[in-house]
Chain A
Amino acid sequence: MNTSKISYKKPLLETPFHERTSEHCYANDWYRWAGYKVAKEYSSTELEYTSMRNTAGVIDITPMHKYDIKGEDAKKFINKLITKDITNIQSNQVAYGIWCNEDGMVIDDGTIFCFNENHFRIFCAERNLNWFSDTATGFNASVEDISPSIAALAFQGPLSCKILNLLKVENIENLKPFHFNNYNIENHNVTISRTGFSGDLGYEIWCDPSQAIDVWDSLFKFNRDYKVLAAGMNALEMVRIEAGFIQPNVDFMSAEQALRPNRMRNPYELGLGWLVNLDKEYFTGKQALIRHKEKGPEKKLVGLDIEGDKPAVGSVLYDNSKKNQAKEIGIVTAAMWSPVLKSNIAIGFVSKEHYKLGSNVYAEIYHPEELDYRKIWAECKVVKKQFFNNPRRNETPAFT
């Protein structure tokens, strides 16, 4: 990280796209992410969201942490780190995984790129160098934080493949979901992976910081017809809730950061049990996870379909339609009105008796109306977290 660019007047680093993002950012509204400033909102969150759902949106995700794992034991290291078994992973494949501490509590999630048996790259939202380095003890594997050396963009939306096609990115439509390869965008070598958090067709583009501006400009080249927009963190938050992706320190506390032990969550509570392979010989947290699985989760992160149109942000959940008889049974961690689904959705923790799909719970929504709160007692149905999952997302060749 180039710390010489930091001063007390400019305490945050600028990404290689800053020249462009600052032009687009009329709102001048910045979000602090891993020491960088990225736009919260460029001009209008709704428009940015709409671009991702209807054409394509570009998000600067450079602050993502990137770690290179190299060495003979790189694969063994990954298998010890994450709860899933990646023994059969192939080159150019991407795995989604979570890692837990010894108590089986989730620390973070990330995507793991396999270059070859001896070289992996992990992308994640939180800092993990300490954890990875300590995990590498005893393995012939080096862990290197290469975060500043790669500029990254998420290019998400139904027309993302079409636009890449127009940019003459050869064979991009045949890139399968959770795969990556090297491509060329207008004479710039980039790595493109078919990954993302929009629940729709989308790509992530990784390139050298020196080419960042050119790559950015290319994506906006056909804007006369397609209206690609730069999207900020607020719009990203909307699409990720619709897609049912969870975020550390928003939907759950990372076990490395939580101060109160009872705030940590295990994969079964987060609905990520499918990422845990207890048949694997060894990984950190296995013994604890065996116990957690046996016991079953006390509460679970679920999707909620809420009546009405007032977002249940920060709501407490209850078990009874009658307010005066109701008992607290959970809490909402993220909520929104979904424009594309035309429904009022939320993600939240619900206790054991109520997390079965189809059960009814009640949210007390505090809806601000001109300096006053209207309290709404809204019925919610427990549903799958994946509210929006367009078939386009998994089709190969991709929609063009």
Chain B
Amino acid sequence: MKKFDVIIIGGGHNGLVASSYLSKKGKKVLVIEKNENVGGLAEYAESLNCISPIIKKELGINVNNINHSNNIISLEDNQNHTILSDKNGKLSFVQTNADENDQKKFLSIINNYKLFSKTLGAFMFQKPPRVKSGKRADLFQLISMGWKIRKLGKKNMRELLRVIGLNIADDLEDNLNSNNLMGLLSHEAVLGTNLGPRSPGSILTLLYKQAINDNIFNLNKIEVAEYINQLEDCCNKNTVEIIKSSEVKKILTQNNSVTGVQLTNGEIFESKYVMSNADPKTTYLNLLGAEILDTDFIRRTKNFRNKGNVAKLELALENEININNIDKKMNGKFIYAPGIKYIEHAFNANKYNKYSENPCLEFYVNQKTLSANVYYVPYLINTNHQENEIIERCVSVLSKFIPDMKIVKQKLITPNKMEEKFNIAGGHWHHGDLEIDQLLMMRPFYGSAQYSTPINGLYLCGAGTHPGGGLTGINGLNAAKKVIEDLK
């Protein structure tokens, strides 16, 4: 029986960050990964660029942005697409149907949101404070949060407090006329959430995403595979043991404290500290077992909203892809969400666990291949997705813009498939919705915040913790710091 200082369940990027950090501090670390490769969901993280500078600095990661384009192209049925260009965060219109007044207002809304998200951004990379802990550090952090909001000035603070619970549709309809522009911003607000443009709190999710990514449209992409390789190298350099193709069956406990983990093949590894990169539901209900958790806690675990609704579609075509009315050289992020009404209708189906006839798409084109995020494709319980039907619907949307589509290869990864492959209950990108009651010190839920759990020696380090999903690596880093603190 092997003994380790810390065992990490799951070699997703947060698990790798945590193990790199811990091993750098001289701890003997074991990472157990279910799949053949580490990296987990990062494989699908096409449009994420948000590795925090803190991680890069602490772990010596150096990944270049592949700045393949600065354009955001919002497609429209009448082929009068809107094209925005982003030069280091400065947005300008290249082509649009919207009148000048709308353009101006659009940019000013975005500037406003940027200002607010900066205020939120200050809290993103820290361990969220605990309310009523009685500790001075927590109190200080809470006060500084309040102070940062107050520092916006009276007018802006009021505006922030006004919009923070608001739905994005209301705010946009107050200011804009162009359906296309409204659809574009709504898309960014609702992608990857269980919200429609008219759901309260959809502005908050936009601000939150923006705060994490430091950019509203997530344009600068990184070479994800390269990032994961570097993390793995970093682990190997520091003698982290990584076991692949092995699944953890159970976290072993005794007397409310962790003693180790057992694999599905029966092998047991001992450790007093276990970090789970799995989502909270899987960790508590499957790996740990509900039998040793308080009933109130189980209630909260079960009530954690973690239903994914984004599917990944990968298409390979026979010919090079050209989009109607778009210059061949023009590349970037294509969005098809032509209006608030369109998105809201797609969302309506999702409420009843159906996928809409008219899905929303966000896609990237690379010569003959196309990869898209499709929503809403809800996570289904007890039934299966009609995958061909979903693909057909997507293709019928795409064929409005791509003439003569001859598909050579197609692949759809539904939330259910993500659940199966990565053991993420609900197949949610962020392991759980980013909504006001599941954020900051409330993430994932009361009794489990600040990366700790009710079981001594068990920690969470996955996207289910603050600050949520999105390749920041902050979850893993903060959790590892917490373990180091407790190891002392």
Secondary structure call for the B interface: helix
Secondary structure call for the A interface: loop
A189–B431 Cα distance when bound, in Å, is: 55
Q: Which of A261-310 contact B (CB under 8 A)?
A: 281-282, 284-287
Also in contact, A287 and B454, with CB within 8 A (given A134-B302, A138-B285, A138-B290): yes
Whether A171 is near chain B, meaning CB under 8 Å from some CB there, is no
Chain A minimum-CB-distance residue to B288: A138
Point out the residues of chain A lying under 8 angstroms from B297, CB to CB: 102
Give how many A residues have a beta carbon under 8 Å from the other chain's beta carbons.
16
**Contact between B298 and A134, CB atoms less than 8 A apart:** yes
A84–B296 Cα distance when bound, in Å, is: 19
Counting chain B CB atoms within 10 Å of each CB, which of A76, A131, A138, A287 scores highest? Answer: A138
A285–B298 Cα distance when bound, in Å, is: 13
Point out the residues of chain B lying under 8 angstroms from A139, CB to CB: 290-291
**Contact between B295 and A131, CB atoms less than 8 A apart:** yes
Whether B53 is near chain A, meaning CB under 8 Å from some CB there, is no
Whether B146 is near chain A, meaning CB under 8 Å from some CB there, is no
Bitwise interface map of A from 130 to 159 toward B, beta carbon under 8 Å scored 1, else 0: 010011011100000000000000000000
Whether B292 is near chain A, meaning CB under 8 Å from some CB there, is yes
Whether B136 is near chain A, meaning CB under 8 Å from some CB there, is no
Whether B77 is near chain A, meaning CB under 8 Å from some CB there, is no
A139–B302 Cα distance when bound, in Å, is: 15
Point out the residues of chain A lying under 8 angstroms from B112, CB to CB: none
Whether B409 is near chain A, meaning CB under 8 Å from some CB there, is no
Also in contact, A138 and B289, with CB within 8 A (given A102-B447, A287-B256): yes
**Contact between B447 and A76, CB atoms less than 8 A apart:** no
Also in contact, A284 and B285, with CB within 8 A (given A134-B299, A137-B302): no
Point out the residues of chain B lying under 8 angstroms from A131, CB to CB: 295
A131–B256 Cα distance when bound, in Å, is: 22
Report how many A-B pairs have Cβ atoms within 8 Å: 41
Point out the residues of chain B lying under 8 angstroms from A138, CB to CB: 285, 289-291, 298
A286–B294 Cα distance when bound, in Å, is: 9
Point out the residues of chain A lying under 8 angstroms from B289, CB to CB: 138
**Contact between B296 and A102, CB atoms less than 8 A apart:** yes
**Contact between B294 and A101, CB atoms less than 8 A apart:** yes
A134–B302 Cα distance when bound, in Å, is: 9
- Chain A nearest CB: distance from B442 CB in Å? 17
Whether A80 is near chain B, meaning CB under 8 Å from some CB there, is yes
Bitwise interface map of A from 341 to 360 toward B, beta carbon under 8 Å scored 1, else 0: 00000000000000000000
Chain B minimum-CB-distance residue to A130: B299
- Chain B nearest CB: distance from A67 CB in Å? 15
Point out the residues of chain B lying under 8 angstroms from A137, CB to CB: 285, 290, 295, 298, 302
Point out the residues of chain B lying under 8 angstroms from A284, CB to CB: 294-296
- Chain B nearest CB: distance from A104 CB in Å? 10
- Chain A nearest CB: distance from B454 CB in Å? 7
A139–B298 Cα distance when bound, in Å, is: 13
**Contact between B296 and A101, CB atoms less than 8 A apart:** yes
- Chain A nearest CB: distance from B118 CB in Å? 37
A80–B293 Cα distance when bound, in Å, is: 9
**Contact between A134 and B295, CB atoms less than 8 A apart:** yes
Point out the residues of chain A lying under 8 angstroms from B291, CB to CB: 76, 80, 138-139, 282
A287–B447 Cα distance when bound, in Å, is: 13
A287–B302 Cα distance when bound, in Å, is: 21
Chain B minimum-CB-distance residue to A132: B295
- Chain B nearest CB: distance from A36 CB in Å? 27
- Chain B nearest CB: distance from A188 CB in Å? 38
Point out the residues of chain A lying under 8 angstroms from B298, CB to CB: 134-135, 137-138
Point out the residues of chain B lying under 8 angstroms from A281, CB to CB: 255
A287–B297 Cα distance when bound, in Å, is: 13
- Chain B nearest CB: distance from A138 CB in Å? 3
Q: Which of A97-136 contact B (CB under 8 A)?
A: 101-102, 131, 134-135
A134–B294 Cα distance when bound, in Å, is: 10
A269–B279 Cα distance when bound, in Å, is: 38
Chain B minimum-CB-distance residue to A290: B256
A74–B150 Cα distance when bound, in Å, is: 55
Also in contact, A102 and B290, with CB within 8 A (given A138-B285, A287-B256): no
Chain A to chain B contacts (Cβ below 8 Å), 13 pairs: A101-B295, A102-B447, A131-B295, A134-B295, A135-B298, A137-B285, A138-B285, A138-B289, A138-B291, A281-B255, A284-B296, A286-B256, A287-B256
Residue numbers of A with Cβ under 8 A of B are 76, 80, 101-102, 131, 134-135, 137-139, 281-282, 284-287
Known: A135-B295, A137-B290, A138-B291. 10 other contacts (CB 8 A): A101-B295, A102-B294, A102-B295, A102-B296, A102-B297, A137-B298, A137-B302, A138-B289, A282-B291, A286-B256
